[in-house]
Amino acid sequence: MQKDKVFIYDTTLRDGAQAEGISFTVNDKLRIARKLDSLGVDYIEAGNPGSNPKDLEFFERIKMRPLKHAKLTAFGSTRRPGIKASEDANVNALLKADTSAVAIFGKSWDFHVTEIIRTTLEENLNMIHDTISFFKAQGKEVVFDAEHFYDGYKANSQYAMKTLEAAAEAGADWLVLCDTNGGCFPFEITQITEQVLKKFPIPIGIHCHNDGGMAVANSIMAVEQGAVQVQGTFNGYGERCGNADLSVIIPNLQIKRGKSCIREDGIRELSAACRYISELANLPHNERQPYVGNSAFAHKGGMHIDGVMKNRHSFEHIAPELVGNERRILMSEVSGRSTILKRIQEVAPWVEKDSEETVLIIDRLKQLEHEGYQFEGAESSFELVVKRALGKAKTFFEVKDFRVLCEEHWQNDYSASAIVKVKVDGNEEVIAAEGDGPVNALDKALRKALEIFYPQLKRMRLTDYKVRVLDTTKATAAKVRVHIESTDGRRFWGTVGLSTNIIEASWDALVDSIEYFLYLNGNAENGDICD
């Protein structure tokens, strides 16, 4: 075994799928499996074929296009008490999955044996031994997940170790120690893992849950003791508070501890892969996630920005490019004059620190943020503010009028309609459209009108829409801030609108988004790069 290799065992498709709010389709699981395989993940635990037909279908379909690197692994429990392994339906379902590796979980906590599955301690040992022996006789690589091992060790260390002995004697290839309830501290993981490693020559793995917020730390401490397999999920998905987050563990081990976890070029795809999985899980990506979150390398405070622009080590623990992320300099009233000036100069290189234009723009920015505007994540609106203040904004179109009508009959396919009148180069167009709500109707109508003049708008689409109520004490009279994220399939940009009228705030953000796209597209046609 390679000295510094740590085998990454992903259970996003099985343990991660048990998270609240996640329901992967078979196609979702196939796509995620191929993405993980491309990163260089070693094992992909794809499901429990004995628990649902969806997982059986997955195992059948993936045979048509086998994975290139990862070992596909089917997951299931030891045989039921009082029968042979060959007679157990779940064991046979595991065999039917036809994977080269299987993961078998068995009880290592005497409390669970007697109170939950309600059998004898001796029978539980037999269940572990018989099931693993059965699969070894079938030529399978067997990963034994010692469920509740750390809690079991603290309650009855002698019996917990006996469960590992039963698995080892049956020929298990891996002994994986599980902090199933997720409540252990790193010092407990360290001490207990050390005792296991002294006794067993079989490779040891770690499987942690995050109920105490320490799953990543606990996994890393096990590796520091000598564990060579880490189980977890991407984005930390999983039951209750989730599993150990592989998207944090991998860069910590590979970049900082010199371990080989996934492909060297795969780690540069980490941020994109995590967002890809978030999309298929239909969950918002955690923007504050270490390494792969959008805020992981975002800087707002003036001193922080000044420091990181001089030397990234001042406020960044790694170069963001190592994990496929990027540095973001946020625009706000606390960013500092030099930062705002740098952004202004991207639009108008001739502007200097003490020029009237700089003072004008900074005053305008502070006024807008005092009113409730926020340009973090809406830097495109900031850029348009600068261009307008300098008189450099091109007028691509003029909105002459718009009206929105919400229908009373909500059961219809469309609940709103909009009429938009625009003017481009002296030519006017009036277009109507229906939509799922007033903002969607306005979006459709405005696009239909403008696509007559700017057919390239067909490449643009909205990817996110957020509304924030700024002062809830004013109830329905409160100001709202609307943030829209858009893309043309290659670039992403954010815009913001503010009003006591949610439709007006949405409209302002929408118009800014389209104007910015036309600005980008116009510069691209002129040979400029506008990412």
The DSSP element (H or E) to which 162 belongs, if any, is helix 157-169
The pLDDT of 326-355, averaged and rounded, is 70
Residue 386 has phi, psi (to 5 degrees) of -65, -50
Indicate the pLDDT class of residue 119, thresholds 50, 70 and 90: very high
CATH number, domain with residue 440? 3.30.160.740
* 317 & 218 share domain: no
**Cβ atoms 339, 293 nearer than 8 A:** no
**pTM of the full predicted structure?**
0.72
The answer, yes or no, to whether residue 294 has pLDDT greater than 90, is: no
Domain assignment of residue 14, given as a range: 7-281
8-state DSSP, 154: H
Q: Which residues of 138-174 are buried (b: 16+ CB within 10 A; e: fewer)?
A: eebbbbbbbbbbbbbbeebeebbbbbbebbbebbbbb
The DSSP element (H or E) to which 202 belongs, if any, is none
**How many structural domains is the chain composed of?**
3
The pLDDT of 487-510, averaged and rounded, is 86
Asked if residue 419 is part of any domain, the answer here is yes
* 374 & 425 share domain: no
The pLDDT of 301-318, averaged and rounded, is 80
Indicate the pLDDT class of residue 526, thresholds 50, 70 and 90: very low
The answer, yes or no, to whether residue 166 has pLDDT greater than 70, is: yes
* 412 & 382 share domain: no
* 383 & 409 share domain: no
pLDDT in tens, 359-372: 787 777 777 777 77
Minimum mean pLDDT among 38-52, 107-121, 404-418, 478-492: which range?
404-418
Indicate the pLDDT class of residue 529, thresholds 50, 70 and 90: very low
* 276 & 325 share domain: no
* 82 & 126 share domain: yes
The answer, yes or no, to whether residue 86 has pLDDT greater than 90, is: yes
Indicate the pLDDT class of residue 341, thresholds 50, 70 and 90: confident
Maximum mean pLDDT: which of 236-240, 273-277, 514-518 = 236-240
* 176 & 94 share domain: yes
CA angle, corner 1, sides to 220 and 202, nearest 5? 70
Minimum mean pLDDT among 347-356, 391-400, 489-498: which range?
347-356
Tokens of 426: 């002296």
Asked if residue 437 is part of any domain, the answer here is yes
Minimum mean pLDDT among 14-18, 151-155, 182-186, 276-280: which range?
276-280
* 222 & 311 share domain: no
Asked if residue 253 is part of any domain, the answer here is yes
Indicate the pLDDT class of residue 389, thresholds 50, 70 and 90: confident
Tokens of 42: 């070693």
Asked if residue 214 is part of any domain, the answer here is yes
CA distance 176 to 206: 5
* 51 & 123 share domain: yes
Asked if residue 517 is part of any domain, the answer here is no
* 131 & 257 share domain: yes
At residue 423, the 3 state secondary structure works out as: strand
Which residue, of 407, 428, 453, is where some domain finishes?
453
pLDDT in tens, 454-497: 999 988 888 788 887 877 667 777 888 888 888 887 777 888 88
Which residue, of 342, 366, 389, is where some domain finishes?
389
Average pLDDT, the chain: 88
- pLDDT for 527 equals 34
For residues 126 and 448, the model is more confident at 126
The pLDDT of 387-399, averaged and rounded, is 79
- pLDDT for 408 equals 65
The DSSP element (H or E) to which 158 belongs, if any, is helix 157-169
